[in-house]
Every structure is written in C-alpha cells, then in structure tokens.
C-alpha cells in the first residue's frame, strides 16, 4: 500500500490539522460558543439559536463529533450535545507551542 501525504508529518501535526479543519467554519465556531455558554443542549436548541436549517446544523454537529470536539448522548428521541473538555483543552492550546522565529526580512 502506498504512502499517504499525512504519513510525512508527525502525529501531532496531523491532529492539529484535523482539529483546525473541524473548527474552520463559522457555523461550527458558533455551535461551540453556544455549547460553552449553555454547557449542554439538544440539537433543537441549536436550531433555534442559529440561522441555519436543522439538516445543516446536524451536518456541522456530525463534523464536530467526528473530530471529538463535542460529545452526544441520546436522551429519549433526542441527542444532547456537550463540549468534550480534554479535546477542547487541546484546541485552546493549539498554537501555544508555535513560536515566531525572529526574522530580519520583514
């Protein structure tokens, strides 16, 4: 089997890229902000909060959940979402290790 481009990078670099891609949409940022504000909610709560259709919000929730940024628990016939704290802590510190190099060209 052939080498994929991601194999050329470290595990940390691939993880940072995956998390950054997952939050690289304003709707997903809005969902994260809402979940941080309310601590947990049902999908319909988010639909009432954001100016997007329910299927669109569900797709964004799916992307955030696949990246591990949020968790979802089934409660009756609805799913209650919340922030996955360990992964969100990684996001908060994502760019901390990257330090600018003193450069004389600019």
Tokens of 46: 């988010």
Token pair belonging to 52: 């997007």
- pLDDT for position 7: 85
50-89 pLDDT per residue, tens: 999 999 999 999 999 999 999 998 888 888 999 999 999 8
3 lies in a domain? no
Higher pLDDT, 28 or 3: 28
Per the domain annotation, does 106 fall within a domain? Answer: no
What are φ and ψ of residue 57, in 5° steps? Answer: -65, -40
Total count of domains within the chain? 1
Question: With contact defined as beta carbons under 8 Å apart, do 43 and 79 qualify?
Answer: yes
The domain in which residue 74 lies consists of 8-92
Q: What pLDDT score does 40 carry?
A: 85
For residue 24, the model assigns a pLDDT of: 94
CATH code, domain with 87: 1.10.10.10
pLDDT of residue 9 exceeding 80: yes
């Amino acid at each position: 089997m052939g080498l994929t481009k991601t194999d050329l990078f470290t595990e940390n670099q691939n993880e940072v890229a995956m998390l950054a891609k997952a939050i690289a949409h304003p709707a997903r940022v809005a969902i994260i902000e809402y979940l941080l504000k309310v601590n947990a909610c049902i999908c319909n709560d988010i639909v009432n909060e954001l100016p997007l259709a329910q299927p669109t919000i569900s797709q964004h929730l799916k992307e955030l959940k696949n990246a591990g940024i949020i968790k979802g628990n089934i409660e009756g016939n609805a799913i209650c979402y919340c922030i996955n704290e360990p992964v969100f802590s990684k996001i908060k510190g994502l760019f901390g290790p990257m330090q600018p190099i003193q450069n004389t060209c600019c």
